[in-house]
Structure 1
Amino acid sequence: MTSRSFTFLVNPNSGGGTAPKVVLPLARRLREAGAEVEVSYTSSAAVVPDLVKVAAAAGRVVVSVGGDGMLSSVAGAVVDAGGELAVIPAGRGNDFARMLEVPSDEDAQVALLLGGKPTPVDLLSVSMPGRPAVLVAGSVYAGVDARAAEIVDRSHWLPNRLQYPIASIRALGTYRPAALTVEIDGRRTEHRAANVVIANSRFYGKGMDIAPDARIDDGVLDVVVIEAAGRVDLIRSLPKVYDGAHVALAAVKVLRGTRVTVSGRYDGTAAPVPVGADGESLGDLPATGEQPLTVEIRPGAVKVLR
């Protein structure tokens, strides 16, 4: 018999509605093993902090069941409540679960939940002008990949495995270079770029190995800047992102630090550059000269069963 207890927070819309199908057999197996299990369904990030607070106060492990966006909202609330977190992937991307090496097999997931050790994992603290800071698990990005994420959100009619590749090609087909100012630990650089990614996890975009050397327990951010290139060249190089080979390209710069700021606008038109984090939109990148997007590492911010 186990003494561990759980509160599952499930986004019923994740993975095209597959999340409830994932959680029900797990909850049954855990109860059979003697664990106490509660299951709450919500697609509203606004109610997550209260649910997590109650669970943490009762000493329950909070289990995020959904995608990367759900995980980030839950992880921040777990940090604030001083609780422990577990992750069961049931979304479209599941990139942070991939980084955590969460198994897909049900038996292995049960073993992880019952026997996993709470392990400190880094998170990102993200600030935008006019809005409170939020904690993010995987990565923050500005440019063509944020545009691709917007397209994914409107592509539910496509098979899950095709959503990210097709969205990436569509975003690259209409992309414009952006004039970006990037500052890392006080060192400022200027770029004419297609995209900048501030990564805690090496994976995003459903398995793209965007930051191959990133670690979730090293207290450092990996900043990947993809300099501007022709649309055809960018589309041709897209497959390299899936195995990390893109970092060897001359147009790709990988920088590291603990505090990163980014600002800028699209070339010529001064149109705003979209910003995203773990599949969720954060709005528009501040213009250079304004208070910038700021991302800081929070070393060992949350304890995750691993």
Structure 2
Amino acid sequence: MTTPAGPVGLVVNPTSGRGRGARAGDRTRELLEAAGHEVVELSGETLLDAVHRARQGVSDGLSALVVVGGDGMVHLGFNAVATTRTPLGIVAVGSGNDYARAAGLPLHRVDAAVRVVLDALAQGRTRAVDAAHVAPPRSLDGRWFAGVLSAGLDAAVNARANRLSFPRGHLKYLRAVVGELGAFLPFGYRVRADHPDGTTSEWLSAGTLVAVANSPMFGGGLQVAPGARIDDGELDLVTAGPLRRMQTVGLFPRLYRGTHISHPAVTISRTTSVTVEPSDLGRTPPVAMADGEEIGPLPLRVEIHRGAVTLLA
């Protein structure tokens, strides 16, 4: 595959990594231009503006889109290039970098990350990876995500972590866990899943954790779905039934090692699509999150699209 000629679009999150994003963006531009590429700045004034500018750039014929930041920038990139022929380059300088870690890309090493992009552009070397699409059932609207959609205590923790300015990375997530556990009660769910073998299943229960994973990690290194792969055409559905508060306290540290999968309340299954709805068996679940970004309230349907994104890797 040869990458088509055209400018390279650049989207930078200047706040990533305690302000390292702006410096990383400047260095990325410098290296791309030194290699002879025309660079089009698409960052925009707001995240929504950046998404619109990136999509327009892809429509106008970019040879590639390069995002500089953390998982939020990867999320933006997926929503700009999914189902197109425009490849995505990732310069990972955020606090979490869960997707870049899963993809085996350099972390917090700008020159190395840009070298991956430049080599891939020069050699036409790309990697097809899956993208997950999430939308309300029967809706024509929706969004793409790269990593993990969470809809339980994991989502409430994610939302709280986003509001915290200190500390960074997994420590911020851990602080958010402590804050959410203070008054935790299980949520109510109805989860319907379609499996690769053509069967379907339903989980109707009070629950603690619900995650739909296209990649293994979220929250700055928590291995919520250790067996998930970004290019296998499947989603890993992770559920945890109703747990008492102290049981939940014991479960979350195991996410760092992926050993929660042996807990009797935890179930993991391979799926191609999942519908998550609230039920009256517990509290109303929180707003769902994906790649650290707010998606919206339940019900939601997630579908995997194999090879929908092309990575420069």
Q: Same fold (TM over 0.5)?
A: yes
Structure 1, unaligned stretches of length 5 or more?
286-291
Q: How does 1:274-293 map to 2 (within 5 A)?
A: 274-285=287-298, 292-293=299-300
| Partner AA of 2:213 in structure 1 | A
| Partner AA of 2:38 in structure 1 | E
Question: What residue is the counterpart of 1:170 in the other structure?
Answer: 179
The answer as to 2:307 corresponding to 1:304 is: no
Shift of 1:281: 1.7
Question: What residue is the counterpart of 2:116 in the other structure?
Answer: 112
Q: How does 1:104-143 map to 2 (within 5 A)?
A: 104=107, 105-116=109-120, 117-128=125-136, 132-143=141-152
| Partner AA of 2:98 in structure 1 | D
| Partner AA of 1:110 in structure 2 | V
User: Aligned equivalents of 2:279 and 2:210: distance in 1?
Assistant: 13
Shift of 1:140: 0.9
Change (3 A) 1:275 1:51: closer
| Partner AA of 1:237 in structure 2 | L
Change (3 A) 1:102 1:4: farther
User: Aligned equivalents of 1:251 and 1:160: distance in 2?
Assistant: 27
Question: What residue is the counterpart of 2:197 in the other structure?
Answer: none
Candidates 157, 161, 178, aligned match of 1:148: 157
Structure 2, unaligned stretches of length 5 or more?
195-199
Question: What residue is the counterpart of 2:92 in the other structure?
Answer: 89
Question: What residue is the counterpart of 2:54 in the other structure?
Answer: 51
Question: What residue is the counterpart of 2:12 in the other structure?
Answer: 10
- Answer yes or no: is the 8 Å Cα contact 1:52–1:81 preserved in 2: no
Aligned length: 298
SS in 2 for 1:132: coil
Shift of 1:110: 2.7
Question: What residue is the counterpart of 2:76 in the other structure?
Answer: 73
User: Aligned equivalents of 2:280 and 2:175: distance in 1?
Assistant: 23
Shift of 1:69: 2.4
Q: How does 1:213-224 map to 2 (within 5 A)?
A: 213-224=227-238
- Answer yes or no: is the 8 Å Cα contact 2:128–2:307 preserved in 1: yes
Shift of 1:228: 1.7
Question: What residue is the counterpart of 2:256 in the other structure?
Answer: 242
| Partner AA of 1:21 in structure 2 | R
- Answer yes or no: is the 8 Å Cα contact 2:96–2:170 preserved in 1: no
What TM-score, normalized by structure 1, do the two folds share? 0.89
Please give the root-mean-square deviation of Cα atoms over the aligned residues, in Å. 2.3
Q: How does 1:187-266 map to 2 (within 5 A)?
A: 187-265=201-279
Change (3 A) 1:283 1:107: closer
What TM-score, normalized by structure 2, do the two folds share? 0.87
User: Structure 1 residues 41-50 or 71-80, which shifts more?
Assistant: 41-50
Change (3 A) 1:30 1:282: closer
User: Structure 1 residues 47-56 or 152-161, which shifts more?
Assistant: 47-56
Bigger proportion of residues as strand? 1
Identity of aligned residues (%): 33
Question: What residue is the counterpart of 2:106 in the other structure?
Answer: 103
User: Aligned equivalents of 1:140 and 1:164: distance in 2?
Assistant: 16
User: Aligned equivalents of 1:14 and 1:45: distance in 2?
Assistant: 17
Change (3 A) 1:120 1:81: closer
Q: Deviations over 1:64-113 (max 9, x none)?
A: 11222232222122125531111112322211111111112333213201
SS in 2 for 1:29: helix
Q: Deviations over 1:120-159 (max 9, x none)?
A: 1101110126682111111111110111111112101434
Shift of 1:197: 0.3
